[in-house]
Structure 1
Amino acid sequence: MSKKREWTLNIIGTFIVLLFLFPVYWMIITAFKTQSEIFQSPPTLWPKDFRIQSFIQIFQDNVWQYFLNSLAISGLATILVLILAVPSAYGLARFNVRGKKMMILLFLVTQMLPATVVLTPLFIVFDQFSLLNSYWGPVLSCATLGVPFSVLILRTFFIGIPRELEEAAKIDGCGRFKAFIQVIIPVSLPSIVVCGAISFFFSWGDLIFSMTFNRNQDLWPLTAGIYNAIGRYGIEWNTLMAFATISVLPVIIIFILLQKHLVKGLVSGSVK
């Protein structure tokens, strides 16, 4: 590749990254602007009067409770997804299970269903089992949609792992379960991290499940807290953007910390 072409591609890539990151930047700086400056024309790219009152206000409104609720729901849903999806995907990849093609087809169908389709059936089931107004309603709902996606992703990766690795582990005295834990799991860790991260992000951004299955606002996550703030603050966009900034920061931090695993897991299937 010539140096000129390399520079051109770098410039194009930088422009695309900045284009996608600009809404995030605009959200953050809006949180530090005054209400009058937000609607100023032409708009300012940096706050003239840098203020943090909007952040102080949302912390006074118990934003930490919303944050902890989001963390509990997303964490539990992610753990549940991985516990169910990893062995299920391995079983579908390694064993000739009767009806395997039908199972995979059903998993694909669930990915095409919008969340609103399953709201009423889930509400009836959770009501029968007294799971409403608790963390378990949103947790199980997010896991219901996260497990099929993770199974489809991990099954493809497990198929690409050579069987000779397990056979070598069996020669060394490992049973199938021990070989799965000590050999397959470490090899497939990048893909497992990808599925866990996607499940966490999906659960973190959930709104409809949490508001449908929890009437108690003390159990609402950050997304529902933002929805509640819209009605409370009206057109106070700096406060709303401060709320949105707080909700986005954990996702950004997790992505930065796990970016090596995420990139490796996303591209690993293409090099098998």
Structure 2
Amino acid sequence: MLEARTRLGRLGLQALVTVLVIPFLIPLIAMIQGSLQGIGWRNYLVVLSLPQLPLFFRNSLIIAGLTILLVYLCTMLASFGFAKLHIHGKEFFFWLLLAALTLPEIVLVTPLFVTASVTNIYNTYWAVVLPLAALQIPFAVLLTRTFIAGIPDALVEAARIDGASTFQAFKHVVLPLTRPIAAAIIVLTLVGTWNSYLLPLLFLQDASSQVVTQVPSFYQGQYNDDQTKILASAVITGIPGIVAYLCLQRQFERGLSAGAVK
């Protein structure tokens, strides 16, 4: 890890980090201050007393859990194939997968709606889980492929010599070494899925299947616009992502640093 060796260098580095953090810190402070206006902490009590809130949290947890599981399995298998297996044309398929990163979510809404209607998964969890997973997988594969490529080929070859199949070598040799990048994938996927607003809004029409990002809509309408409750619900919604990052912080940072460079 690089570090400044002189006092002036450390001060300069600290000043640079502070300047970079300020644009992200100001909106967060403004959101918390806004949520405490009016009746103060009771704004949070009002949001927490919402009868539908536990159901919305459950729906978000189910969608996030299924998406994380799907992204993890597909990413690990695809990254192992791209990094360690001799597959004809794998570079073409890898760059084709990365091309999906250029597609914004809003462009895919119409074809996703048609696909969900034709396959009869509209208004089910899968109508949200499958698109969210597909949007997360390309970037996850980009990071994980580089990480797995850094694992010595000798370990895989040794397992093959001992009689292990390709899948067994992947399961018992490669997969245990990918915990840092797995933590990064879990956190990134959780944050992206938990904060998703557009796809659940369009594909989950039943009130019983809504997610936590829909909670602010209870305090905003034609004759109601309670910004304090909206900001309080936004703070409550963001807590799970913060907790997940804090729990996996060390592994997350190791995974990103190892997956970013070869």
> Is TM-score (shorter-chain normalized) higher than 0.5?
yes
TM-score by length of 1: 0.86
1:21 CA drift (Å):
2.3
Q: Which of residues 48, 54, 65 in structure 2 aligns to 1:59?
A: 48
Counterpart contact for 2:143–2:259, Cα < 8 Å = no
Partner SS state of residue 123, structure 2: coil
Once residues 76 and 234 of structure 1 are traced to their aligned partners in structure 2, the CA distance between those partners, rounded to angstroms, is 35
Partner SS state of residue 248, structure 2: helix
Structure 2 counterpart of 1:258: 248
Structure 1 counterpart of 2:107: 117
Counterpart contact for 2:216–2:229, Cα < 8 Å = no
Kindly provide the amino acid, as one letter, of the partner of residue 195 in structure 2.
G
CA 171–233 in structure 1, closer or farther in 2 if over 3 Å, else same: farther
Task: Let me know the Cα RMSD of the aligned residues.
Answer: 2.1
Is residue 29 of structure 2 the alignment partner of residue 25 of structure 1? Answer: yes
Deviates more, 1:18-27 or 1:147-156: 18-27
Counterpart contact for 1:107–1:152, Cα < 8 Å = no
Q: Deviations over 1:126-166 (max 9, x none)?
A: 11222111111111110111122222221222222210111
Q: How does 1:162-177 map to 2 (within 5 A)?
A: 162-177=152-167
Kindly provide the amino acid, as one letter, of the partner of residue 130 in structure 2.
L
Once residues 219 and 18 of structure 1 are traced to their aligned partners in structure 2, the CA distance between those partners, rounded to angstroms, is 37
Counterpart contact for 1:190–1:261, Cα < 8 Å = yes
TM-score by length of 2: 0.89
Deviates more, 1:25-34 or 1:168-177: 168-177
Q: Deviations over 1:215-238 (max 9, x none)?
A: 112211111222453227733111
Once residues 69 and 185 of structure 2 are traced to their aligned partners in structure 1, the CA distance between those partners, rounded to angstroms, is 11
Counterpart contact for 2:219–2:225, Cα < 8 Å = no
1:78 CA drift (Å):
1.0
Is residue 188 of structure 2 the alignment partner of residue 198 of structure 1? Answer: yes
Q: Which of residues 229, 234, 258 in structure 2 aligns to 1:239?
A: 229
Once residues 233 and 159 of structure 1 are traced to their aligned partners in structure 2, the CA distance between those partners, rounded to angstroms, is 57
Structure 2 counterpart of 1:219: 209
Q: How does 1:30-179 map to 2 (within 5 A)?
A: 30-34=34-38, 51-61=40-50, 62-179=52-169
Partner SS state of residue 226, structure 1: helix
